[in-house]
Each structure stands twice: as structure tokens, then as C-alpha cells.
């Protein structure tokens, strides 16, 4: 003979699922806020570094010799400086883009109080929770997509920032070696 769930145990399970869904949404929201903080930091670093990259060396090299003398421009320094600036701009744009709000599939995730009264007034407590579990499931899916997208943007932005820093260091080393 099977052990049939009682109405009370069913109600407890629904309550647990409901609470777990709420916690999942809070956790995902916290993850997104952390990503936004990191993206904001990259934007700040990017802007400061863009300003500083303007001071990178693109100096000329003076050559004196018996047959000819003059200035030889350090094209490598200029190219490294330009690439550094491009990567810094890419990094900053990726971060800003990830910080901007995105429209989610045209579906409004918020159920207004008037809509709740219309839909839920006649429902039992368990039915009400089940309705919101369905809504929470959609919200969780949307938040996971948003979190993953922001994380990808953060990775790309960070990689561009590291590449820019590497090129900047190469530019400085090349300029020092030409002195």
C-alpha cells in the first residue's frame, strides 16, 4: 500500500518549494549586483587608463651617424599606444553595455497588486503559492540568463583590459630601450 501524501504534507512541500524559489531569486539578484560592482570598477579603471594612455610614449629616436642623421619615428610605440587605447575603449564599452538595463523577452516579471486580486482572490494558500512558484520559475530563468550574460561581458572586458595593460607595458619597455 502506497503512502499517500496528506493535505498537510502537500502544503508543507509547496511552502518549501516557494521559500526555496524566493531564496534562489535573492541569490541570483545578489550575484548580479556583485557583477555590476565589478563592471563599474572596470569602467572606472578604463576611463582613468584611457586618460593615462594618452601619455604613453610614441617618441622619436634620434640617430646620428657619419653618413646620415635625423629623427626616426618609433612606429612600434605609436602602434602599441593606438592598440592600447582601442582595447581600453573596448573594455569600457563592454562594461557600460553590460551595466545598461536589458528588456527581457517583452514579458513583465512583476505582478501588480490589482492583477493579484483579480487572479488570486479565490485561491487557497497552496494554490496561491503554486501560482507564484510558476512566476518565480520564469523569473529565475530570466535572472540566470542575465547573470550569465553579464559574467560573459565582464570576462571579455577584463581580458581587453589585461591586453591593454600588456601592450602599455610593452610600449613603455620599448620606449625605454630606445633611449
In order, the DSSP letters of 100-128 are S----TT---PPPHHHHHHHHTT--HHHH
The CA-based angle 88-174-62, given to 5 degrees, is 120
The reply to whether 18 falls in a domain is yes
Q: Residue 45 is part of which domain span?
A: 12-98+109-178
The reply to whether 5 falls in a domain is no
The reply to whether 1 falls in a domain is no
pLDDT of residue 9: 67
The reply to whether 6 falls in a domain is no
pLDDT of residue 118: 74
The reply to whether 2 falls in a domain is no
Q: Name the domain count of the chain.
A: 1
CB 47 within 8 A of CB 96: no
The reply to whether 138 falls in a domain is yes
pLDDT of residue 178: 65
pLDDT of residue 74: 59
Could you list the pLDDT tens digit for every one of the 179 residues in the chain?
455 555 666 788 888 898 999 999 999 999 999 999 999 999 998 888 888 877 766 655 544 554 544 444 557 777 888 888 899 999 999 999 999 887 765 455 667 777 777 777 777 888 888 888 888 898 899 899 999 999 999 999 999 999 998 988 887 787 777 66
pLDDT of residue 90: 93
Per DSSP, 66 falls in state S
Amino acid at each position: 500500500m502506497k503512502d499517500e501524501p496528506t493535505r498537510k504534507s502537500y502544503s508543507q512541500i509547496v511552502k518549501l518549494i516557494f521559500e526555496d524559489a524566493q531564496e534562489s531569486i535573492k541569490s541570483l539578484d545578489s550575484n548580479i549586483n556583485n557583477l555590476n560592482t565589478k563592471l563599474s570598477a572596470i569602467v572606472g579603471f578604463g576611463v582613468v587608463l584611457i586618460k593615462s594612455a594618452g601619455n604613453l610614449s610614441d617618441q622619436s629616436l634620434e640617430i646620428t651617424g657619419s653618413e646620415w642623421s635625423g629623427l626616426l619615428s618609433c612606429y612600434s610605440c605609436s602602434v602599441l599606444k593606438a592598440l592600447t587605447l582601442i582595447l581600453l575603449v573596448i573594455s569600457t564599452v563592454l562594461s557600460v553595455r553590460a551595466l545598461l538595463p536589458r528588456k527581457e523577452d517583452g514579458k513583465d516579471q512583476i505582478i501588480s497588486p490589482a492583477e493579484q486580486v483579480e487572479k488570486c482572490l479565490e485561491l487557497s494558500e497552496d494554490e496561491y503559492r503554486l501560482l507564484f512558484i510558476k512566476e518565480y520559475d520564469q523569473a529565475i530563468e530570466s535572472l540566470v540568463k542575465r547573470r550569465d550574460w553579464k559574467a560573459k561581458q565582464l570576462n571579455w572586458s577584463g581580458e581587453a583590459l589585461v591586453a591593454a595593460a600588456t601592450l602599455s607595458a610593452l610600449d613603455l619597455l620599448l620606449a625605454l630601450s630606445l633611449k
